Structures are given as C-alpha cells and as structure tokens.
Amino acid sequence: MRCRARRERMTTAAALAVLLELARAFSTTPARRPIRLIAFDLEESDRAGSSAYAEDLRRRGESLALMISLEMLGYRDTRPGSQRYPSGLRYFYPGTGDFIGLIGNLRALPHLWRLTGEVRKTVPCEFLPVPFKGRIVPDTRRSDHASFWDLGYPAIMVTDTANMRNPHYHSPSDRIETLDLDFLTAVCRGLTSGLAAL
C-alpha cells in the first residue's frame, strides 16, 4: 500500500507545483474574479473530495464561474505517433504528444475558447468540448472536474493526456526526470495569464 501511495504522489507532483505557483502569482497580482485554489483528495478512487465540495456549493446555492482541474501536466513527447486518443478522436487531433489539452463541458465553452487562446501564447494547446457530462467519452471524466460536470457547473480539465502519452503513468518509473520541466513551466505561464484574463 505504501508503494501505491508513493506512485500517486509522484504523478500529482507537477499539478501541485503549478497550483502552488498559481497561488504565488495571484497573491501578488490578484485576478479580476475571486480564485479558490484547492487540492482535492481521493481523485483516483471516487472523487470524494471534489464531489463533497461541489455538493456543498450546490446546497448553499453558491455560483461558480468556472472550475479548473489540474491533471497530469508535465509530460511531453515530440516523436510523431506518440499521442493516443479514445476511439474516434485521433482523426481530429495531432499525433505528436507535445501539447497541453483543455477538456470542458458545454457550459464552459466560452472559457474554454478564451483559455485555449491564452495558453497557446506559451505552449501548443488543443481543446475538446464534450457534451452529456463526458459520458460518451469516459476518458474525459477521469479527474475532479467530473464532479462539477455532474452538477451542471462549468468545468475544464487541463491535462497532458496522462496514459494516452506517458508510458510512465502510475508506474515506478514515473519520476521527475521523465517530465519536461520547460513544457511544465510554459503550461504554468499560460494558465496564469489565461486565468488572469478570464
């Protein structure tokens, strides 16, 4: 069990680093809207943390302009053919795994377009709007944003596509040296400027 927990911590390290950098950036230059930075637990099992938070928002009748889930963020593979997709999507997206992906529900569509435009100023970025809470492409539901989709909130997952590209995903070889830190830095810069512009 200790080995499994260690692997899960390693796979979330890049997202936590970006979360901390966003906290630093917005503490010195606040965004136009209030931002809450939250690290949810149990995303890999049943999304208990994000589900409880989203349910609490709904129970209190609190509005939410946008939820952004930081998934896997730091793996890039510039070899042609390195990127895989769920069935059917490969016809519409690049075959090289050198981009960051933004996946949002239809309620998040205006934010999805705007954020994609900002992120593309620092790193290649692709976006995917998904209807029906992502149920027609189950791989799009694999993080905390799905808890918000289920309750009708606008939400976006930011991802390097995890196991669709990264051969080290959830394995003992998932170490910092397998990440592309320049890519991760560019993703972080794009997200910072993108969130500031929303």
Question: Following DSSP, what letter does each residue of 105-131 receive, concatenated?
Answer: EGGGHHHHHHHHHHHTTTS-EEEEEES
What's residue 175's pLDDT? Answer: 87
Token look-up 């910092």 returns 176
What's residue 11's pLDDT? Answer: 53
- Calculated CA dihedral for residues 114, 116, 118, 121, nearest 10 degrees: -150
Give buried/exposed letters for 84-116 (b at 16+ CB in 10 A, else e): ebeeebeeeeeebbbbbbbbbbebbeebbeebb
Angstrom distance (rounded) from CA 24 to CA 188: 12
Angstrom distance (rounded) from CA 56 to CA 61: 8
What's residue 6's pLDDT? Answer: 42
Per residue in 39-58, pLDDT (tens digit) is 987 776 788 889 999 999 99
**Residue 147 pLDDT greater than 80, yes or no:** yes
What's residue 32's pLDDT? Answer: 87
User: Considering the chain, what percentage of its residues have pLDDT values greater than 90?
Assistant: 74
Tell me the average pLDDT of the chain.
90
**Residue 171 pLDDT greater than 90, yes or no:** no
Split at pLDDT 50, 70, 90, the class of 162 is very high
Angstrom distance (rounded) from CA 77 to CA 160: 10
Instruction: Identify the residue with better confidence: 7 or 156.
Output: 156
Main-chain dihedrals φ then ψ at residue 142, nearest 5 degrees: -85, 30
**Residue 94 pLDDT greater than 80, yes or no:** yes
Pairing of strands 155-159, 67-70: parallel
Can you list the domains of the chain with their CATH numbers?
2-197 (3.40.630.10)
Distance of CA 148 to the CA centre of its chain: 13
**Contact in structure between 63 and 118 (CB atoms under 8 Å):** no
